[in-house]
Amino acid sequence: MKPIEALGFVGLGVMGEPMCANLIRKSGKQVFGTDVRRQPVERLAAIGLRPCASIAEVAAAADLIFLSLPSGAEVEAVCCNENGIVAAEGRTHTVVDMSTSSARLSRELGARLAAHEITFLDAPVARTRAAARDGTLSIMVGGSPQEFAAIRPLLAHMGSEINHCGGVGAGQVVKILNNMIVMVTVEALAEALVTARRSGVDGKLLFDVMSKGSADSFVLRNHGLKSLVPGTFPEDAFPVDYALKDLRLAMELATQGEVELRSAPQVVELLEQTARAGYAANYFPVMIRQIDK
């Protein structure tokens, strides 16, 4: 793999901004970045980001570009449209997609970029916005063992759990199924919480006791105790719309593997009701409001 001397970052949203900040502070390399919004670019510029006005400008300066974007559509556009990385013909030789999109698209992009001598890896992330700030994300990587070894030191600035999952697309498979489990678990916790309260039991007590027994989980201690119990569903966190995207990707994977899912379609229906009720932009555990109607 070619030398990596300068880094780029495209997509400085809720997760991308703190991830990029960790690269700026820890990597010892120049980091060039851009976003459709100027505010995160300006905040990161204050700690050392080299702000860029376009994707082409990032591609002209960076050997490796990280992407953190809403969906596969944006990833494909940033890589392949007329103003994208390929068209820029800059110095970029590696693209690492840290967004969540379909495994099929990741494999297609891997082939398309390889034709232009650009290596593509998928490296989606799990855990919370706080983990993005703290550099303790879980990162699931798809790519060759050699490519993984080359980028692992950089990923270590953003994550504490970094796992090589297989070839291009394998990181997306693991991430999508991780998120499916999280969302199905949040629905179960929301149902338990509503039932407990209507049965005269305090919700926080319920989850505190559960966290000490066989029902304990990361989801219970985070999504449950920090969001469902206090009823906190901000708009600057993982929203209902994103949750729906990831669950539909899981259902697409299952269809491809001829697996009949049962729980995920029910959660999709609940989240669709939640979005129609006006909560599409809220943190996805807000689904409890539909359960508690």
Give domain limits for the chain.
Answer: 6-166, 173-291
pLDDT tens digits, residue range 75-87? 999 999 999 999 9
Active site residues: 175
CB 142 within 8 A of CB 100: no
Backbone angles phi, psi at 271, to 5 degrees: -65, -35
- Work out the average pLDDT over 268-283: 98
Q: What is the percent of the chain with per-residue pLDDT over 90, rounded to a whole number?
A: 96
Alpha-carbon gap, residue 253 to 103, rounded angstroms: 8
Backbone angles phi, psi at 65, to 5 degrees: -120, 130
User: What is the average pLDDT score of the chain?
Assistant: 97
Number of H helices, E strands in the chain: 14, 9
**Burial class (CB within 10 angstroms; exposed 0-12, middle 13-18, buried 19+) of 28:** exposed
Length of the chain: 293
Torsion of the alpha carbons at 10, 11, 14 and 18, rounded to the nearest 10? 10
Residues 6+ apart with CB under 8 A from 221: 211
CB 17 within 8 A of CB 68: no
Q: What is the CATH number of domain 173-291?
A: 1.10.1040.10
Query: pLDDT category, 236, cuts 50, 70, 90?
Result: confident
**Per-residue pLDDT at 177 exceeds 90:** yes
Can you list the alpha helix ranges (DSSP code H) found in 156-239? 170-198, 203-210, 218-219
**Per-residue pLDDT at 98 exceeds 80:** yes
pLDDT tens digits, residue range 20-68? 999 999 999 999 999 999 999 999 999 999 999 999 999 999 999 999 9
CB 21 within 8 A of CB 12: no
Query: pLDDT category, 128, cuts 50, 70, 90?
Result: confident
- Work out the average pLDDT over 205-228: 97
* pLDDT for the residue numbered 237: 86
The structural architecture, per CATH, of the domain 6-166 is: 3-Layer(aba) Sandwich (3.40)
Residue 1: strand, helix, or coil: coil
- Work out the average pLDDT over 134-153: 98
Amino acid at 199: S
CB 90 within 8 A of CB 61: yes
- Work out the average pLDDT over 130-147: 97
